[in-house]
Structure 1
Amino acid sequence: MSGLSPARVRLALLALALGGFGIGTTEFVVMGLLDNVARDLLPALYASSHEDAVAQTGWLITAYALGVVVGAPTIAALSARFPRKQLLLWLLVAFTLATVLSAVLPTFELVLVARFVAGLPHGAYFGIATLVAASLMGEGKRGRGVAIVLSGLTIANVVGVPIITLLGQQAGWRVAYLAVASIFALTFVAVALAVPLQPGDPKATLKRELRAFGRSQVWLALLTGAIGFGGFFAVYSYVSPVVTQVTGQSESFVPIALVVIGLGMTLGNLVGGRAADHNVMGTIFVCFGLFVVALASFALTAHTTAGLLISLFVVGGAASALSPAVQSRLMDVAGDSQTLAAAANHAALNLGNSLGAYLGGVTIAAGLGYLSPAIVGLLLCVPGIGLALFSVVLQRRRPIRL
């Protein structure tokens, strides 16, 4: 973006990434507090069946993800013509209020609704923020711009999620969510001060944005991302009980496992962003290959501490590297429906989140054990690879026309 100093660009990108940090924290912190939330909101079920209570508490993960699926395309399609900075600020207000409600509502059912509402602005924020970042970075650095915004989400898994998980374990899960709400409030101030004004697309209409869904390559990219992240969340959603029930570590070890996943995600995101600038589809295939190896390792070695940590690091890295590659692919194939496509990617990823958390919970509730979600992840890799291959074959037969 012309007229901005490098320092101003860095500050703007940092502000956008801080929003990703808050989103990553609000989305993932419940995964380390499943036991705590289940014990508080479902006391009778927790007393009679620990596994059933944990599996039902996993619905909070599913509800947030479904909120993303509903909100991302809806908000993006309706708001593409609005100034991007102002829209980001309104989305941050929505995040703050919904996260406060998650912390204070008294019953499981009401908290479930609050988590759904908290997910609504997720995809639109990331979609708009990545477009702003790509504009700030300039030509040839699009993947890195996307990765910088997403780095907030991955760093949240290194710093925010473990610290706030520890806070939740010590002071209660409700205090943890209030801490997350404060991150969104801080992000509002940072975006207001650091991000330059950037107009929306005055030619954008609902009809034009929805045109993206008429492109087969857009659907293939969205489904590839959804299935890839479905496998990741099948495992990630139930890290807490794996650490305590399978590996045999204490509850205090859960934040350490989350830090390891976060380190893998942070490295994977940075590598994936740079790789996507050189070869988008090649990056997607490599990510799926690493993912298969990591999931198989997790299923076979998570009963040992070393096996658990190594496999979780690679699982996080492979999944996170996939995200900027899929986002870049969507920018390549979406034509002039960029806002909707960018947001729809996060809807797809969170559809995978919802699917993975749900299927992982089903296998656990069926008595197949806390490692069974890794098998779910492996099974999901098969159609993910198949969709990516079909996309390449289709493009060779029918080159993309934008």
Structure 2
Amino acid sequence: MHRHAYEGQCAAESSRHTVAMSPIRNPRLTLFALALGTFAIGTGEFGSNGIIQLFSADLDVSIPVATHAVTAYAFGVVIGSPAITLLAARVNRRALLLGLVVLFLVGNGLSAVAPNITLLVVFRFIAGSVQGAFFGAGAVVAAYVYGPGRGGKAFATVMGGLTVATIFGSPLGTFIGQNAGWRAMYWAVVVVGLLAGAALVAWLPRTDDLRGTSIASELGALQRLNVWLMVTVAALGISSIFAVYTFIGPFVTDAARRDAALIPIALAVFGLGMAAGNYVGGRVADRYEHRGLIWGYGGVLALLVLIGVAGGNLAILLPCLFGVGATMMFAIPTIQVRLTGLAPDAPTLMGALNLAALNLANSLGAIGGAITLDAGWGTLSTVWAGFVLTTAGLLLYAATVARLRTAPVPVHA
């Protein structure tokens, strides 16, 4: 399969406009609005990881039970986002994005007032149902701005807001939670969401070029085995991010035996790695078919071993956190380009499935880490759960790569 199959759909979505020739009056502001939206989403998602210990104590549940709120968010993305994408298949991408912002505000506002872990789990599911659909629709709008042949860069731009959230949003949210209570973190997310909504209203283009597609077209993509193989590769491989990120707090305080005040710094270091990996990975994805994924997965496996063996040393832990974030994000744009190449007639759904895979990985990583902790294998044992899952993803990709390369892609007028 041609590695730039995404170009065909980008051409249809963008009417073959580039940034310089875009009919959008302020294309960079459009891209900024999209990134601000994903920044708000990322702050809510990753900020939850940084306050697990806080709401665990306040709601009187153990940390493994508290991780159910994280996994519920992930299942919201896995189940809710593809469902929303299908139901809204015919909706203009602008209207879809604005509707998703409203649902995002509802989910996080309710999270801020949740009286117990059960309702917090429900409200995190609602908030999570926004994410994949927003990233999928946002990638289509970014492709409209960038033009054909730059699908990896378009998706990396949308993902850029999420990576910035890991640098600034999540650490700041954790700081707010530590000093004003974990509920204040979710109210801060609501405020950022309101700002993102205002930016989207102001700068998203009003054009029929961003109209939706038929439900039949989207459903047809779900019937392709290659799509599901790629989703499985993504879900297994990326899980190691969350076998690390979910437990950064305990890594710092329990394994490295440092003050909790260092947790936001560790989160920011991880986020810097994600931003760097995403930036480079978007460009690699547009040039090479497989390198982004193979190099990304291979690199993170080596780093997981190092954390598992020597992560109790903060001087080793922090560079490894940067490396894990960088190598995994390096792979994600390639996954998006591969998915969209396998189903170029359903780009929004493929974006939603990519984020669904990422958040299924969130669940797998958190569950795997919780299992190793419950087994009494030690704080750093969570990385070995990630190692097993990423290895499985890399092996599956190696076993199916020939099939993925030769898979026919439907041609549409």
Q: Secondary structure at the match of 2:208?
A: coil
Deviations 1:368-396 (A, max 9, x none): 11111100111112221122223322145
Q: 1:61 aligns with which of 70, 77, 99?
A: 70
The correspondence of residues 296-335 of structure 1 with structure 2, limited to 5 A, is 296-335=305-344
2-structure distance, mates of 1:181, 1:396: 43
1:222 aligns with one of 231, 244, 252: 231
Please, which of 23, 26, 31 is the counterpart of residue 8 of structure 1? 26
1:367 to 342, 358, 376: 376
Aligned residue for 1:280, secondary structure, equals coil
Please tell me whether the aligned partners of residues 94 and 210 of structure 2 are also in contact (alpha carbons under 8 angstroms).
no
Question: Which of 111, 114, 120 pairs up with 2:120?
Answer: 111
Q: C-alpha displacement at 1:144, in angstroms?
A: 0.9
Residue in 2 that maps onto 1:340: 349
Q: Distance in 1 between matches of 2:202 and 2:210?
A: 22
For residues 116 and 19 of structure 1, the distance between their equivalents in structure 2, rounded to whole angstroms, comes to 18
Query: Which ranges of structure 2 fall in alignment gaps of 5 or more residues?
Result: 1-13
The yes-or-no answer on 1:130 pairing with 2:139 is: yes
Q: Within the alignment, does 1:268 sit opposite 2:277 as a pair?
A: yes
Work out which of the residue numbers 54, 74, 80 in structure 2 matches 1:36.
54
| SS of residue paired to 2:290 | helix
Aligned: 1:22 with 2:40: yes
SS of 1:81's partner is coil
Unaligned runs of 5+ in 1: 46-52
Q: Match of 2:35, as an amino acid?
A: A
Compute the displacement of 1:5 (Å): 6.7
Corresponding position of 1:78: 87
Alignment check: 8 A CA contact 1:84 1:199 kept:
no
133, 145, 159: which is aligned to 1:150?
159
Distance (Å, rounded) in 1 between the aligned partners of 2:253 and 2:25: 45
Tell me what 2:197 maps to: 188
**Which residues in structure 2 correspond to 1:248-287 (within 5 Å)?**
248-287=257-296
**Secondary structure of residue in 2 paired with 1:120:** helix
CA root-mean-square deviation: 1.6
Q: Among 90, 105, 108, which residue is 1:99 paired with? A: 108
Q: Which moved more, 1:205-214 or 1:251-260?
A: 205-214
1:354 aligns with 2:363: yes
Q: State the shift of 1:208 in Å.
A: 2.1
Conserved? CA contact 1:210–1:340, under 8 Å: no
Question: How far is 1:352 from its partner?
Answer: 1.0
- Matches of residues 192-211 of structure 1 in structure 2 within 5 Å? 192-199=201-208, 204-211=213-220
Aligned residues: 393
User: Which residue in 1 is equivalent to 2:387?
Assistant: 378
Q: Give the 3 Å change call, closer, same or farther, for CA 246–133 of structure 1 in structure 2.
A: same
SS in 2 for 1:285: helix
1:141 CA drift (Å): 1.9
- 1:301 aligned partner, one-letter code: A
Work out whether residues 342 and 407 of structure 2, in 8 Å CA contact, stay in contact via their aligned partners in 1: no
Q: What is the identity, as a one-letter code, of the residue corresponding to 2:377?
A: L
Give the TM-score taking structure 2 as reference length: 0.92
Distance 1:74 1:396, change over 3 A: closer
Matches of 2:99 and 2:407 in 1, distance apart? 41
Q: Distance in 1 between matches of 2:408 and 2:92?
A: 33
Write the deviation string for residues 282-307 of structure 1: whole angstroms up to 9, x where unpaired: 21111111111111111122111111
Q: Output one character per residue of 1:320-368: Cα deviation in whole Å (capped at 9) or x when no partner.
A: 1121111111111113122212211111111111111111111111211
1:154 shift after superposition:
0.3
Whether contact under 8 Å (2:141, 2:210) holds in the other structure is no
CA deviation map 1:105-144 (0-9, x unaligned): 2111111111111111111000000111011101222211
State the Cα distance separating 1:201 from its structure 2 match.
7.0
Q: 1:199 offset after TM fit, Å?
A: 3.4
Q: Tell me by how many angstroms 1:400 deviates.
A: 4.5
SS at match of 2:217: helix
2:182 corresponds to which of 153, 165, 173: 173
Q: Secondary structure at the match of 2:213?
A: coil
- The answer to whether the 8 A contact 1:104-1:174 is kept is yes
C-alpha separation between the residues in 1 aligned to 2:208 and 2:232? 30
Report if aligned partners of 1:81, 1:200 keep a CA contact under 8 Å in 2. Answer: no
- Partner secondary structure for residue 303 of structure 1: coil
